């Protein structure tokens, strides 16, 4: 089943692993033990002998803490028995191995991890990752290798952890290998009969396993990089093939990293050139939390006091629909439609027109400091002078915002005035006769008539 095309074998290096009981098996870091040959699989199935029952052996945990320092490696050796004292879990011959590791580190993308089996097979469990800036390290993280397939389980296993800094970081906080353990999968007896050997294939030597201190360059691509790629280079022509970004990068929905000159809408400039997502309602922001918004998406308004996006502005502010902002009302307003157009006042104030002022007693108004007397014509007022009257004193009538002693020729006395204050109402239509100056008001389908000098209400003509 390790028969691949000649072109693929020529293109990628293969390594002959020292699998003692299998003579030798070719393995590729890209293809594992090879591409599948469907014809060979069918032929093999006709004479296949089922392997023995799989056993799982969980070795003891090595809890000896070791410090992982920059530009150096930590080496830890564990002598495995393969659970030889437990027949139900004894693993004599390996199928695959899981390594459980707990490491603390200020930037785990700088780590590379290798495991060497008792037979000398070295597997790369983890490579350096340029864009992994996480400070969480690995907590009981499982890594797996099948490169020691068919080897003996018992013996010395060697774990190596390399720290290769890729950028500036706090070197005062070194990493620590806190614990690691092996989980061995395989069989207690030899799973292969002498007649079921691997087919002999042409040997092609594989280059040595990459050392984590080597620079990671491009493999086959030699063309120009995207302008958003830094000097580190790229492995393809697009902004998603950069080895490092010149400005910023963010993740697409398919988890692809793409380099950009600035962060897109709904993202903000984080540390290490990252573009991170804003809270769902934010159009722009300076952090990922809901109280770190700078502008809001359509349908939401920015509360500048809390830096959050809301659907309804709080009391004391109004919605600016053009800029999606909650703008402040005048300090005396509880609610308003514009800054100086109050619709409701705070406690202790009264609405006077479209403004809120201290509620002075009748005959007085608030001038911003204290209550002052109204003009002598005014019973109540909103300001100084005759033009500030709201209602008139006895003997005066309110006509078009001013107090008069009698209604003008175009007005008549209105008996239906509210609050008991007198006012003059304007005629809607008029006609003058010879000398009587009869005034005619058309109300509904009727005409009402009266004398201009009369204080009596017009009667139906």
Burial class (CB in 10 A: 0-12, 13-18, 19+), 220: exposed
The pLDDT tens digits for 39-79 are: 888 888 888 778 889 999 999 989 999 999 888 889 999 99
Q: Is 422:411 a contact under the CB 8 Å cutoff?
A: no
Bridge partners, 25 (sequence order): 17
Write the CB contacts of 28 (distance below 8 Å, at least 6 apart in sequence): 12, 13, 14, 15, 34, 206
- Report the pLDDT value the prediction gives residue 94, as an integer from 0 to 100: 93
C-alpha 20, offset from chain centre: 52
Cα–Cα distances in angstroms (integers) from residue 103 to residues 164, 289, 319, in the given order: 15, 29, 51
Tokens for 68, please give them: 């992982």
Local structure of residue 199 (DSSP, 8 states): P
What does the domain layout of the chain look like in residue ranges?
Answer: 1-198, 397-460
Q: What is the pLDDT of residue 173?
A: 81
Cα angle 261, 137, 274 (rounded to 5 degrees) comes to 10
Thinking of the domain 1-198, which architecture would CATH place it in? Sandwich (2.60)
Beta-carbon neighbour count of residue 96 at 10 Å?
A: 14
Residue 181 has pLDDT above 50, yes or no: yes
Give percent of the chain above pLDDT 90.
28
Predicted pLDDT at 442: 44
Read off the pLDDT of residues 212-264 as tens digits, 9 standing for 90 and up: 333 334 346 788 999 999 888 888 888 888 888 889 988 877 778 889 998 88
Would you list the DSSP string of 231-242?
TT-BSSSSTTSB
Q: What is the pLDDT of residues 370-390, one digit of tens each?
A: 788 888 888 888 888 888 888
Is the pLDDT assigned to residue 196 strictly greater than 80?
A: no
Give residue-wise pLDDT tens across range 412-429: 888 766 667 888 888 875
Structure tokens at 128: 């350096």
Report the pLDDT value the prediction gives residue 16, as an integer from 0 to 100.
Answer: 59
Q: Which residues of 206-217 are buried (b: 16+ CB within 10 A; e: fewer)?
A: eeeeeebeeebe
Per residue in 72-121, pLDDT (tens digit) is: 889 999 999 999 999 999 999 999 999 999 999 988 889 999 999 999 99
Position 97 scores a pLDDT of 96
């Amino acid at each position: 089943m390790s028969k691949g095309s000649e072109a693929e074998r020529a293109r990628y290096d293969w390594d002959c692993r020292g699998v003692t009981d299998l003579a030798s098996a070719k393995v590729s870091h890209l293809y594992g033990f090879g591409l599948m040959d469907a014809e060979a699989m069918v032929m093999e199935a006709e004479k296949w002998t089922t392997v023995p029952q799989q056993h799982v052996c969980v070795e003891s945990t090595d809890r000896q803490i070791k410090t992982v320092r920059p530009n150096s490696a930590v080496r830890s050796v564990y002598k495995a028995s393969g659970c030889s004292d437990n027949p139900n879990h004894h693993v004599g011959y390996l199928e695959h191995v899981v390594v459980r590791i707990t490491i603390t580190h200020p930037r785990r993308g700088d780590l590379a991890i290798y495991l060497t089996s008792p037979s000398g097979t070295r597997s790369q469990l983890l490579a350096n990752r340029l864009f992994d800036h996480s400070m969480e390290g690995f907590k009981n993280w499982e890594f797996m290798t099948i490169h020691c397939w068919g080897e003996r389980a018992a013996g010395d296993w060697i774990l190596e952890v390399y720290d290769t800094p890729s950028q500036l970081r706090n070197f005062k906080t070194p990493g620590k290998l806190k614990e690691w353990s092996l989980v061995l999968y395989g069989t207690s007896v030899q799973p292969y009969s002498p007649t079921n050997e691997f087919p002999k294939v042409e040997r092609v030597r594989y280059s040595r396993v990459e050392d984590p201190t080597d620079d990671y360059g491009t493999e086959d691509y030699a063309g120009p990089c995207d302008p958003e790629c830094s000097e580190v280079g790229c492995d393809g022509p697009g902004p998603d093939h950069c080895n490092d970004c010149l400005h910023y990068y963010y993740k697409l929905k398919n988890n692809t990293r793409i380099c950009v000159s600035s962060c897109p809408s709904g993202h903000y400039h984080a540390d290490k050139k990252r573009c991170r997502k804003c809270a769902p309602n934010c159009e722009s922001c300076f952090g990922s939390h809901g109280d770190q918004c700078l502008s809001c998406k359509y349908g939401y308004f920015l509360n500048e006091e809390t830096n959050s996006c809301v659907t309804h502005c709080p009391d004391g502010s109004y919605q600016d629909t053009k800029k999606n902002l909650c703008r402040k009302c005048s300090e005396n307003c509880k609610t308003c439609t514009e800054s100086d157009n109050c619709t409701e006042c705070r406690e202790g104030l009264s609405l006077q027109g479209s403004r809120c002022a201290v509620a002075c007693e009748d005959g007085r108004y608030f001038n911003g400091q204290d209550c002052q007397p109204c003009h002598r014509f005014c019973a109540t007022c909103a300001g100084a002078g005759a033009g500030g009257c709201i209602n008139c004193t006895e003997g005066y009538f309110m006509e078009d915002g001013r107090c008069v002693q009698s209604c003008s020729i175009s007005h008549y006395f209105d008996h239906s005035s509210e609050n008991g204050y007198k006012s003059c109402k304007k005629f809607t239509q008029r006609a003058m006769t010879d000398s009587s100056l009869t005034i005619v008001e058309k109300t509904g389908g009727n005409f009402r008539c009266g004398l201009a000098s009369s204080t009596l209400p017009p009667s139906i003509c």
